[in-house]
Amino acid sequence: MENSDPNSVGIVERKVFSFAGEGEDALKLDSGKILKNINLAYETYGHLNDDKSNAILILHALSGDAHVAGFNNSSDDKPGWWDNIIGPGKPLDTKKYFIICSNVIGGCAGSTGPSDINSETNKPYGLDFPFVTVFDMVRAQKKLIDNFGIEQLLAVIGGSMGGMQALVWAVENSVNVKGTVVIASTSSHSAQCIAFNEVGRQAILSDKNFQSGAYYDSDVTPQEGLSVARMIGHITYLSDESMGEKFGRKIQNFDGGETKNKQGYEYDLGVDTVFQIESYLRHQGATFNKRFDANSYLVITKAIDHFDLAKRYGNLEKAFEKVNSRVLVISYSSDWLYPTYHSKKIVKSMMKVGVDVSFSEIRTEKGHDAFLLEDKYLSGYLTAFLEALPERN
Helix (H, G, I), strand (E, B) or coil at 130: coil
The C-alpha angle with vertex 175 and arms to 85 and 378, in degrees rounded to 5, equals 20
Residues of the chain predicted below pLDDT 70: 1-4, 253-273, 391-393
For residues 114 and 125, the answer to whether their CB atoms sit within 8 Å is: yes
334 and 268 in a single domain? The answer is no
Domain that holds residue 218: 195-296
- Whether residue 352 lies inside any domain: the answer is yes
- Whether residue 162 lies inside any domain: the answer is yes
- Whether residue 46 lies inside any domain: the answer is yes
148 and 250 in a single domain? The answer is no
Q: Residue 286: its pLDDT value, please?
A: 96
Q: Residue 338: its pLDDT value, please?
A: 98
61 and 160 in a single domain? The answer is yes
- Whether residue 9 lies inside any domain: the answer is no
28 and 91 in a single domain? The answer is yes
Angstrom distance (rounded) from CA 236 to CA 240: 10
Question: Which is it for strands 123-124 and 117-118: parallel, antiparallel or unpaired?
Answer: antiparallel
Report phi then psi at 296, rounded to 5. Answer: -65, -35
- Whether residue 28 lies inside any domain: the answer is yes
36 and 182 in a single domain? The answer is yes
Residues belonging to the active site: 160, 335, 368
Which residue in 264, 232, 237, 247 sits closest to 373, CA to CA? 237
84 and 151 in a single domain? The answer is yes
Task: Read off the pTM.
Answer: 0.94
- Whether residue 304 lies inside any domain: the answer is no
Report the domain count for the chain: 2
For residues 137 and 173, the answer to whether their CB atoms sit within 8 Å is: no
- Whether residue 1 lies inside any domain: the answer is no
For residues 55 and 100, the answer to whether their CB atoms sit within 8 Å is: yes
- Whether residue 4 lies inside any domain: the answer is no
287 and 324 in a single domain? The answer is no
Angstrom distance (rounded) from CA 343 to CA 325: 17
Q: Residue 374: its pLDDT value, please?
A: 81
64 and 132 in a single domain? The answer is yes
| CATH assignment of the domain containing 154 | 3.40.50.1820
273 and 322 in a single domain? The answer is no
Angstrom distance (rounded) from CA 393 to CA 285: 45
Angstrom distance (rounded) from CA 233 to CA 62: 10
| CATH assignment of the domain containing 232 | 1.10.1740.110
184 and 199 in a single domain? The answer is no
For residues 328 and 381, the answer to whether their CB atoms sit within 8 Å is: yes
For 103-152, strand residue ranges (E) read: 117-118, 123-124
For 60-189, strand residue ranges (E) read: 98-102, 117-118, 123-124, 153-159, 177-183
285 and 319 in a single domain? The answer is no
* 90-120 core/surface letters (b: 16 or more CB in 10 A; e: else): bbbbbebbbbbbbbbbbbbbbbbbbbbebee
Q: Residue 264: its pLDDT value, please?
A: 53
Last residue in a domain, options 271, 296, 321 = 296
* 272-294 core/surface letters (b: 16 or more CB in 10 A; e: else): ebbebbbbbbbebbeebbeebbb
179 and 314 in a single domain? The answer is yes
Angstrom distance (rounded) from CA 168 to CA 164: 6
Last residue in a domain, options 244, 273, 296 = 296
